[in-house]
Amino acid sequence: MGARIPARHRAVITGAGGGIGAAIARRLAPGADALILVGRRAAPLQALRAELPVPVQLVCGDLTEAATLAAIESAARAAGGVNLLVNNAGVSGFHSFETQPADAIRAMLDTNLLAPMLLTRQLLPLLRQAPSAQIVNIGSVLGALGFPGFAAYGASKAGLAGFSQALRRELSDTGVEVRHFAPRATRTGINSEAVSAMNGELKTAEDTPEAVAAEFIAFLEGAAWQRTLGAGERFFVLLNKLLPGLPDGAIRKQLPVIRKHLPK
């Protein structure tokens, strides 16, 4: 298949208050008829809306709450429907799994996996009414390449990748495409100072949110159902599938640096 013909989007973007979500909204706006921006804090959403040359509705709330999902559906109906859902909202947590608080683990799974599943379910009837529609779940390279300190986060993102693949197949005879887009390390507020320091010491490649958003738009207009950013990261993901012992050994050598930066 070749590149798709760009559509005029009526899009829902979660996690739009900053980072990758805000950068995607800025990139999408010129080709959109309406945007629904979702986030926890009103002020960043309001500031972003003031920048954008397109009708924008804001939904401020917690995606793990049914009332927020219902408010997003209402906004989508008010916009005349929706043909793009970008499940971008997420939380991270760099921590030794043995001592990571149980509440933090639950919050990660609820926000990164359960919330996008339930929002997708809420909006599917509207998405199916569009002539064609896309659901794009924003994952992480850590969902395909397990890394110490990110056991719970990686599990949540691996689950999102599995959900994306299964739902893609379930909806393959409809006009709704389900796709998966996995950034590598990105310089956003989701990363703690400890993660930034560790990435620097390990010389981990990092992208800006703007660079990720540019890649996202290219992906959106292309035909592939999934994409992982970074040639080196894609190589290690493939190696991890075929010969997992090699990444095991490489990452074990990094453990002293990783443990030095783990929260005490």
Catalytic residue among 150, 153, 163, 216: 153
Beta bridge partners of 134: 84, 177
- Residues 113-147 as b or e (16 or more Cβ within 10 Å = b): bbbbeebbebbbebbeebeebbbbbbbbbbbbbbb
> Is 153 designated active site?
yes
CA dihedral 4, 5, 8, 9 (to 10 degrees): 0
Nearest to 210 by CA among 37, 52, 13, 19: 19
Residue 98: Cβ within 10 Å count: 6
- The residues annotated as belonging to the active site are 153
